[in-house]
Amino acid sequence: MFRRVVSVGSLVLCGLALQQACSELLHASERSGGQPAPAQRAPGMPDLGPNVFLYTPESKTADIQAKIDAVYAQQQHAEFGSGRYAFVFAPGTYHLHLPIGFYTQVIGLGASPDAVHILGDVRVDAALDDNNATTTFWRSAEGFAVTPDSGTMQWAVSQAVSFRRMHVHGNMVLNQQHGWASGGWMSDSAVDGTVDSGTQQQWISRNTEWGRWTGANWNMVFLGTPQMPPGEWPQPPYTKVAATPVVREQPFLEQQPGGQLAVRIPALQRNTIGVTWHGGTTPGRLVPLSRFYIARPDRDTAATINKALTAGKDLLLTPGIYDLQEPLRVTRKDTTVLGLGFATLHPVRGTEAMTVADVDGVTVSGLLFDAGEQKSPSLLHVGTAGSHRAHTTGSTVLHDVFFRVGGAAAGKVAANLVIDSDDTVVDHTWIWRADHGLKGASSVGWTVNESDNGLVVNGNRVTVYGLFVEHHQQYQVLWNGEAGRTYFYQSEIPYDPPTQAAWTDSNGAKGWASYKVADTVRQHEAWGVGVYSVFRHPDVLLDRAIEVPRTEGVRFHHMITVALDNLGAILNVIDDTGGSTQTKPRVTPKVAEFPAPMQPANTTR
């Protein structure tokens, strides 16, 4: 999304202490500073590495707060840093002030969020000056309750920020003092008071409950929300879908009565409204943590991880950056891959980072895929090209999978996420070709961070919730499969095409449509679609934001285009419909329905 100020990542390298369990404060060095010091831990507790801090109600509040403050001092502005961290809280009550910085995850271990209660202040601050949250990325809060001291929880965020299985005893505001903010995600959560979106440009809420929602800007989508806000598209720009058609909630760590850890794998559900945990837990199955291979970036390679996957293990990736000489290969049905603390997969030899076979029931959650300097065909490939095996009761589900090309270092990829498996569900993704990067590094440029496509879908009956795709050099999304569905789409086309000639599609059109449904597709549907331009070079235009075949089975609901700078324009919203953003003064063209509903015949005589 448009950022008025280019953010500069800063990384403070320092030793950090590790609280592993049962109130013992342990010590370790950061990944980039060498091997972690040996860690003591409570009997029966797993070794989750030096960057997972696990606390119980018996832990000293001063020690917890000191660790929170030290990590935040390092991560507050570390947009392109190498630190990755997770704070994990056993059931109980904690009195804390907990700001969440870059690449930081906060997790409660209860069966429901109400089992872990933080009294005080859990918040996300804007990452830039002037309360600007448009680069507030890569952080999450999951599985606990919050009672904010002020009565209102501040969550000033943009892309790649997850808010899942949360309970806010009070109000919530999605910006910082009405500064810029550019989109976010909320699911399976409850807010007792009012959610004030304020200056948020876009938002998706799935299966979320609140006392009241207020605020709208360009593109707000609500699915399975019992308390829908009043008003209808386009004023206010609310897209409301009564029930979530199919989803399996994200797996999560859960502490058992004896103190052991397990991973709950929620059940696949259809046509759901509201949160899953009112009965005390989320329906599903428990898998002991002993069934998981616990990977650590300081000692594991792709070979050791693949050996464990081949042996039948599920996979828990602890925080850090994994430099991969070959893809991680998920081949067994019902495999769960769960990342903690924005565990990052970085291919270094031009391969995929991960491949998933065309099998039933795989879950991949909580990972950042970061392109390497050698060009990869994709970063995550789900399924087998040409296979159309049905998975209606055992869908592969991807939660909070995020992709980055450039920014921290140069990167190249053809298509970031390729889905060949039928019936796949994607539950929140941000697929980003970086528009800015680390100061002093050659990590951004038309020939530096190259990426053709964000998402390519070849499978049938693929459903995506919360699709954020930005700045790729050809189609942001290319959808070749039948019966696909997208609920919420937020996309910026690339800032940096140097000339129109350099950015002309294969049919001679000006630019590449952001969302392309292949000409052969006969059934597709999308709700709540926003496409935005921020051209940096003059005389560059995009003929159409969305390009689809003209057939009754391909339908789009509630579309908007916006030009966010004074250069160039988007000439039509969808195909040849909607009009241009080029009009002076700038306008925001909207199309409610495409194709337009047929008017009833005039029977007057």
Supply the CATH number for residue 539's domain: 2.160.20.10
194 within a domain of the structure (yes/no): yes
Residue from 283, 281, 399 nearest 338 by CA: 399
360 within a domain of the structure (yes/no): yes
Spatial distance between the Cα atoms of 359 and 397, rounded to a whole number of angstroms: 12
CB atoms within 10 A of CB 262: 19
Same domain, 209 and 310: no
38 within a domain of the structure (yes/no): yes
Spatial distance between the Cα atoms of 503 and 87, rounded to a whole number of angstroms: 44
Same domain, 121 and 240: yes
Same domain, 89 and 234: yes
Same domain, 200 and 81: yes
| 513: containing domain | 292-594
Of the residues 248, 269, 302, which one is the last residue of a structural domain?
Answer: 248
**Residue 46: predicted pLDDT:** 79
Tokens of 434: 């970086």
**Residue 45: predicted pLDDT:** 67
Q: Which of 352, 492, 525, 547 is catalytic?
A: 492
602 within a domain of the structure (yes/no): no
Spatial distance between the Cα atoms of 534 and 471, rounded to a whole number of angstroms: 10
Of the residues 220, 248, 276, which one is the last residue of a structural domain?
Answer: 248
Q: Using an 8 Å Cβ cutoff, are 137 and 161 in contact?
A: yes
Can you list the alpha helix ranges (DSSP code H) found in 333-426?
none
Same domain, 441 and 339: yes
Q: Using an 8 Å Cβ cutoff, are 507 and 528 in contact?
A: no
| Calculated CA dihedral for residues 452, 455, 459, 461, nearest 10 degrees | -150
269 within a domain of the structure (yes/no): no
Q: Using an 8 Å Cβ cutoff, are 203 and 197 in contact?
A: yes
Spatial distance between the Cα atoms of 464 and 489, rounded to a whole number of angstroms: 9
**Residue 393: predicted pLDDT:** 87
**Residue 388 dihedral angles phi and psi, to the nearest 5°:** -130, 50
Active site residue 492: yes
Count of the separate structural domains present in the chain: 2
Same domain, 225 and 308: no
Same domain, 231 and 312: no
Same domain, 391 and 315: yes
Same domain, 510 and 421: yes
Of the residues 196, 231, 248, which one is the last residue of a structural domain?
Answer: 248
Give the residues of the chain that fall short of pLDDT 70: 1-45, 599-605
Q: Using an 8 Å Cβ cutoff, are 265 and 363 in contact?
A: yes
Tokens of 254: 């859960």
Residue from 140, 119, 57 nearest 91 by CA: 57
Same domain, 232 and 315: no
Same domain, 225 and 326: no
**Residue 243: predicted pLDDT:** 98
**Residue 217: predicted pLDDT:** 93
CB atoms within 10 A of CB 145: 23
229 within a domain of the structure (yes/no): yes
**Residue 44: predicted pLDDT:** 52
Question: By CB neighbour count within 10 A (0-12 exposed, 13-18 middle, 19+ buried), where does 566 fall?
Answer: exposed
282 within a domain of the structure (yes/no): no
Spatial distance between the Cα atoms of 189 and 195, rounded to a whole number of angstroms: 12
Q: Using an 8 Å Cβ cutoff, are 539 and 500 in contact?
A: yes
**Residue 12: predicted pLDDT:** 26
6 within a domain of the structure (yes/no): no
Tokens of 241: 């879908």
**Residue 47: predicted pLDDT:** 84
Residues in the chain, overall count = 605
End-to-end CA distance of the chain: 54
Spatial distance between the Cα atoms of 159 and 531, rounded to a whole number of angstroms: 15
**Residue 392: predicted pLDDT:** 84
